[in-house]
Amino acid sequence: MEETWQHTTVLLNQAVDALGIQADRTYIDGTFGRGGHSRLILNALSPQGRLIVFDKDAQAISVAQSWGDSRLEIRHSGFSAMGEWPASSVAGVLLDLGVSSPQIDNPERGFSFRHDGPLDMRMDTTRGRSVRQWLEQAEQAQIAEVIREYGEERFAAQIAKAIVARRQERGVPAGTAELAQLVAGAVKTREPGQDPATRTFQAFRIFINAELEELEQALEGALKILQPGGRLAVISFHSLEDRIVKQFIAKHSRAEVDRRAPWASGRPLLLQALGRMRPDAQEVARNPRSRSALLRIAQRTEVPV
């Protein structure tokens, strides 16, 4: 049953504190998950406050709906949709980019190489292609490119070749366990303590859910809807995500001068970087899945969009 899979929210207090909650304002939790951050935000809001939550996962949406809180607005969609909100209408945006434990630990979702399950990996199981459907048709070169780009896997070509050979012989791997075994046979070396399938499973999940593209859209949307002084807090778990967040904040935290017209006013600063934070040793000991988490915080300047 669903309650079998528990989730421990990463950087819970730090991320919510970073928003600088004002009780009667509107906030967005772009990744509701199982509601750890959302519950703490709601605890800080007055009856006039409002929290808008997004999630692609129908099970997460069910959890949010069960709360029955009139201050809560629930959206069954990806967080890139936040850009549809009016400009300067939100006091804070929180994005936790991690995959929730119920998704990882439930074999039926197909995210984990430690438990056998269907090759799915969709965040929203009501729409889109599964990994299995994609692998049934993808060219070897495309498979290799996805593994290389989204998994930063140096054995991408060998893994893609093994997958296509298996497909030609007997069809795509039957499930996650067989795929993990196939990948392990193609990966010659791996960092100590890391399963050979880690990078490939990450790559397929990111690709099938268009995670990096959606993150880029969400950051642009957040910049538009944040009020002057509003906070942006983003928790990432791998270098691909963090690079996008870091570069976005850096881009909007410096003035740009048109070299063709150096006498003209430069583009105004839209964000102020406020710092970064990692889980402390105690949190990592309690929740090893938090060890790679990195929280970046920025504040919208007084300049309107």
CATH number for the domain harbouring residue 137: 1.10.150.170
* Confidence at 303, pLDDT banded by 50, 70, 90: low
Show the domain range for 93.
2-101+211-300
Burial classification of residue 269, based on how many CB atoms lie within 10 Å of its CB (0-12 exposed, 13-18 middle, 19 or more buried):
middle
H or E element that contains 140: helix 140-151
215 in the same domain as 84? yes
Mean pLDDT of the chain: 90
130 and 265 share one domain = no
**Contacts by 150-155 with C-beta closer than 8 Å and gap 24+?**
150/202, 150/203, 150/204, 150/206, 150/207, 150/212, 150/240, 151/199, 151/200, 151/202, 151/203, 151/204, 151/206, 152/199, 152/239, 152/240, 153/187, 153/199, 153/200, 153/203, 155/186, 155/187, 155/188
Per-residue pLDDT at 3? 44
Which CATH number is 62's domain given?
3.40.50.150
pLDDT of residue 210: 95
In a domain, 184, yes or no: yes
Q: Which of 176, 208, 240 is the last residue of a domain?
A: 208
Residue with tokens 């119920």: 102
Query: What is the per-residue pLDDT across 146-181, written as a single tens digit (0 to 9) for each?
Result: 999 999 999 999 999 999 999 999 999 989 999 999
Distance CA 79, CA 297 (A): 18
Give yes or no for residue 305 having a pLDDT over 50: no
* Domain boundary, last residue among 208, 229, 262: 208
Same domain, 9 and 82: yes
- The band of 128, judged by pLDDT with boundaries at 50, 70 and 90, is very high
Q: Are 141 and 203 contacting, i.e. CB atoms less than 8 angstroms apart? A: no
Does residue 258 register a pLDDT over 90?
Answer: no
Mean pLDDT of 24-37: 95
Cα 221 from Cα 211, distance rounded (Å): 15
Average pLDDT over residues 260-286: 82
Mean pLDDT of 68-90: 95
* Statement to judge: residues 180 and 229 lie in one domain: no
Taking each helix axis from N to C end, the angle separating 198-208 and 176-186, rounded to the nearest 10 degrees, works out to: 120
In tens, the pLDDT along 173-212 reads 989 999 999 999 999 877 777 889 999 999 999 999 999 9
Q: Write b or e for each residue in 74-88: b if 16 or more Cβ atoms lie within 10 A of its Cβ, otherwise e.
A: bbbebbbebbebeee
- Do 225 and 80 share a structural domain? yes
Joined together, the tokens standing for residue 153 give 């896997």
